Structure 1
Amino acid sequence: MSFKTLNLNHHIVRAVEDEGYTEPTPIQAEAIPAILNGKDLLAAAQTGTGKTAAFTLPMLEKLTRHKGQGKRYVRALVLTPTRELAAQVHASVRTYGRHLKLRSAEIYGGVSIQPQTRTLRSGVDILVATPGRLLDHLNQGHVDLSRVEMLVLDEADRMLDMGFIHDIKKIIAELPHFRQNLLFSATFSDEIKRLSRSILKEPETIKVAADNTTAERIRQTVHPVDRAKKADLLSYLIGSNDWRQVLVFTRTKHGADKLSRRLERDGLPSTSIHGNKTQAARMKALKAFKDGRVRVLVATDVAARGIDIDRLGQVVNFDLPEVAEDYVHRIGRTGRAGNAGEAFSLVCVDEKHLLHRIEKLTGSRIEKILIDGYHPDPSIEAEPVAKRGGRGRKRSGNFQSDRKRSSHASKNGHFGRKDRA
């Protein structure tokens, strides 16, 4: 199958081929015909599978086939959980719609509202937005959603996790009753199924992988380690393996900043992104990471949504997420566009229950490898994750290793110190 066989406008096919793509991914091959046929859609697709183009391409096609008359109104609305993902989706809209006479816009918080207001008042066909900022514009009368023909909820599971359900319901109340609804999620949780029943009408269901499984092309490894040794182990892994571009996840904003500073001291150019940073600062940090000027990007879950780097080789969970589904999203930042990837988790005894949740969710046991020089102390007992408050205390872990790796840590140090960088 090729994009030319999917009944897409030749201008759209041309833009797709300009990007070097000739064959659709599985999610695209299934979703595009269903959307063009006017069906509501419930799609389970992990990040990196091409899901953005799966709804962007048929959206552009349908809006082009049936052109609006007179003043431009919002005809397609895409809701995303974060600013970064909104920017990523809008970039796809602009890329694949570059040869079409359609206008689009992205709106989200963290930046001035005035330029967004001017753009909305000038008229757009496609609007990509985060729920909170869109409600601000709705409440101030800056946007009319009464003529929306297509609604897309992207990464709907994450929007539920972030508490956007009430905002979403308020937005939907402003939309016309007759419209096409598309819901994309990495997982089919019970909450997603309930949401789909309230929004979708006789939807076609598409699954490109079994529920909650992680991409087979991503090699996953757990390194048991004391919490006090995590930063040392991370520096060692980056330096000894000569990783040039690493995305590291922490549980808290404070932890992201603290770890970034520590890695800098170890001679590893690093920066952090999280919800307390301005959008301009977040975009600047992400650009430095993509350009290779920063070797390590430390991020919280919210800020990392929408990071799209085709050849990102490694993702590290410095802290395991408290919500198991977030693990699937995190490691999905690597192994994109058909490339292989690696995901490493540094797990202390406090997090053993979180690891068990992840393995239960994904239905697979993750290989555990002890690294010489960083073996956990079995005498230290676990403390509840929720009671840590972001401050380190003595802790460790008792893990059975699947195999041991000899790393000669004492001989080579951390490999990341400034005199070895």
Structure 2
Amino acid sequence: MNTLNFASLGLAEPLLRSLNDAGFTKPTPIQAKAIPHLLEDHDLIGIAQTGTGKTAAFALPMLQHLAEETERVPSKGVRALILAPTRELALQIGENIAKLSKHTKLRHAVIFGGVGQNPQVQALARGLDLLVATPGRLIDLMNQGAVRLDTVTHLVLDEADRMLDMGFINDVMKIVNKLPDQRQSMLFSATMPKEVAKLARTILWEPVRVEVTPEVVTVEAIEQHVYHVPTPDKRALLETLLKDPDLARVVVFTRTKHGANRLAGQLVKAGVAADAIHGNKSQGARQRALAQFKAGAVRVLVATDLFARGIDVAEITHVVNFDLPNEPESYVHRIGRTGRAGRTGIAFAFCDPSERSYLTAIERLTRVSLTVASHSSQAQRRDPRAAAATPRPQPRRRAA
């Protein structure tokens, strides 16, 4: 579809003004493909990663439908429900909804666990046009009678594959079973494993399927290097890399929460502005770490895979896989934090001999052989004379 602007998609004038105010001038591929189908009330499966504009793809048609319907939302009632796997993603969706609904009178709220529920209960008591929620907190409020879902006309399940990975399938089905059968439903996912396909068949009716940004294309747009290094030497290598000022905003992925805390503390002792973000941290601590990272006060954010898709920060220059993931798909989501919105990105992988099988699986999935780097090659990168004398290796494309 060759769509040049949002007006040609059939969006209403208040939404076009909100898009203009937010600086959005041209729809992304997922928006161009999904919005016309959703405006026509079709159920939809969207295969797209975070950073492709999928929030606006499902939110804009939903906001238009809600604005066109004049019936009053009852106390504790909800007209549209968006389910997200993590608090961070829920908050990001809520921020986008606030921008996109700026010139409407629609009411929305975001609810999640880890914080006091009273403000959330008060927001629900007045009734909401649109609710963004994590499954656990929504189930809690349902059990308390603080929210009613029999008024829902629109449902979005965002990052469905992550939802299943985190064990939310039973909570999701408890919620879906409370919804009216007559509704428009949307499911968005970066991948489509069998479990997600089964879920889609359960909650959607004759859905249209749209797909953009295949994973292989995504990783090919990112410069990828691998350092073969024993685990005890990984921290020293990371500190050496961070001496390069080009590593201006860096996300480092570790396998465990304890490892993230330990590495962040070691980097701080070495004089690097760093913080950790993972599921064991309080909601306030996680939000502060993410806010400081976005503002540039923290240069390095050490994270676990839980946040491989939740960190939606512009201008991340580098991603470092301090520990290689044992699932190659996780590698794709990790390095997808850089090289966003058409920008270039660089990813480093640290591979201990015990992780060689993980590297093989990653290269098989992405069909890209990572460029082998060394400590000496990194020193050359920091010395312009050495860099000029030594050709820079390029990633090799594997045969399909």
Q: TM-score, normalised by structure 1?
A: 0.86
Preserved contact between residue 244 and residue 382 of structure 2 (Cα < 8 Å): no
1:36 is matched with 39
Matched, 1:274 2:246: no
1:209 is matched with 213
2:398 is matched with none
Secondary structure of residue in 2 paired with 1:214: helix
Matched, 1:160 2:164: yes
* 1:267-313 deviations in Å (ceiling 9; x for gaps): 11111111111101110111111111111111112245422212111
For 1:218 and 1:63, the matched residues in 2 are separated by 39
For 2:218 and 2:195, the matched residues in 1 are separated by 20
For 2:217 and 2:331, the matched residues in 1 are separated by 11
2:339 is matched with 335
Q: How does 1:373-388 map to 2 (within 5 A)?
A: none
* 1:76-119 deviations in Å (ceiling 9; x for gaps): 11111100000000100001101110010111111011111111
Q: 1:322 aligns with which of 320, 326, 334?
A: 326
1:200 and 1:367, CA in 2 relative to 1: closer, same or farther beyond 3 A?
farther
Preserved contact between residue 225 and residue 373 of structure 2 (Cα < 8 Å): yes
Q: 1:178 aligns with which of 176, 182, 185?
A: 182
- Deviation of 1:244 after TM superposition, in Å, equals 1.8
Matched, 1:60 2:63: yes
Q: 2:138 aligns with which of 134, 157, 167?
A: 134
Query: Which deviates further from its counterpart, 360-369 or 253-262?
Result: 360-369
* 1:367-403 deviations in Å (ceiling 9; x for gaps): 222333xxxxxxxxxxxxxxxxxxxxxxxxxxxxxxx
Query: Which deviates further from its counterpart, 267-276 or 63-72?
Result: 63-72
Secondary structure of residue in 1 paired with 2:362: helix
Preserved contact between residue 82 and residue 156 of structure 2 (Cα < 8 Å): yes
1:64 and 1:319, CA in 2 relative to 1: closer, same or farther beyond 3 A?
same
For 1:326 and 1:260, the matched residues in 2 are separated by 21
Preserved contact between residue 76 and residue 149 of structure 1 (Cα < 8 Å): yes
Q: Using CA pairs under 8 Å that are at least 6 residues apart, name the structure with larger relative contact order, 1 or 2.
A: 1
Secondary structure of residue in 2 paired with 1:125: strand
Supply the AA of the counterpart residue of 2:379.
S
- Deviation of 1:322 after TM superposition, in Å, equals 2.5
Secondary structure of residue in 1 paired with 2:373: strand
Preserved contact between residue 212 and residue 325 of structure 1 (Cα < 8 Å): no
For 1:351 and 1:193, the matched residues in 2 are separated by 31
1:190 is matched with 194
Q: How does 1:208-357 map to 2 (within 5 A)?
A: 208-210=212-214, 213-357=217-361
For 1:292 and 1:33, the matched residues in 2 are separated by 38
Supply the AA of the counterpart residue of 1:41.
L
Which runs of no fewer than 5 residues in structure 2 stay unpaired?
Answer: 384-400
Supply the AA of the counterpart residue of 2:135.
P
For 1:180 and 1:361, the matched residues in 2 are separated by 34
Secondary structure of residue in 2 paired with 1:14: helix
Which runs of no fewer than 5 residues in structure 1 stay unpaired?
Answer: 373-404, 412-421
Supply the AA of the counterpart residue of 2:178.
E
Matched, 1:81 2:53: no
Matched, 1:10 2:13: yes
**Over aligned residues, Cα RMSD in angstroms?**
1.9
Count of matched residue positions in the alignment of Structure 1 and Structure 2: 379
For 2:366 and 2:194, the matched residues in 1 are separated by 15
Supply the AA of the counterpart residue of 1:361.
L
Preserved contact between residue 86 and residue 306 of structure 1 (Cα < 8 Å): no
Secondary structure of residue in 2 paired with 1:146: coil
Supply the AA of the counterpart residue of 2:29.
P
Q: Report the identity percentage.
A: 50
Supply the AA of the counterpart residue of 1:4.
A
Supply the AA of the counterpart residue of 1:287.
A
1:196 and 1:410, CA in 2 relative to 1: closer, same or farther beyond 3 A?
closer
For 1:326 and 1:67, the matched residues in 2 are separated by 44
For 1:409 and 1:60, the matched residues in 2 are separated by 49
Q: TM-score, normalised by structure 2?
A: 0.90
Secondary structure of residue in 2 paired with 1:163: coil
1:71 is matched with 74
For 2:287 and 2:320, the matched residues in 1 are separated by 21
* 1:18-76 deviations in Å (ceiling 9; x for gaps): 12221101010001111111111111112211111111111111111223335363111
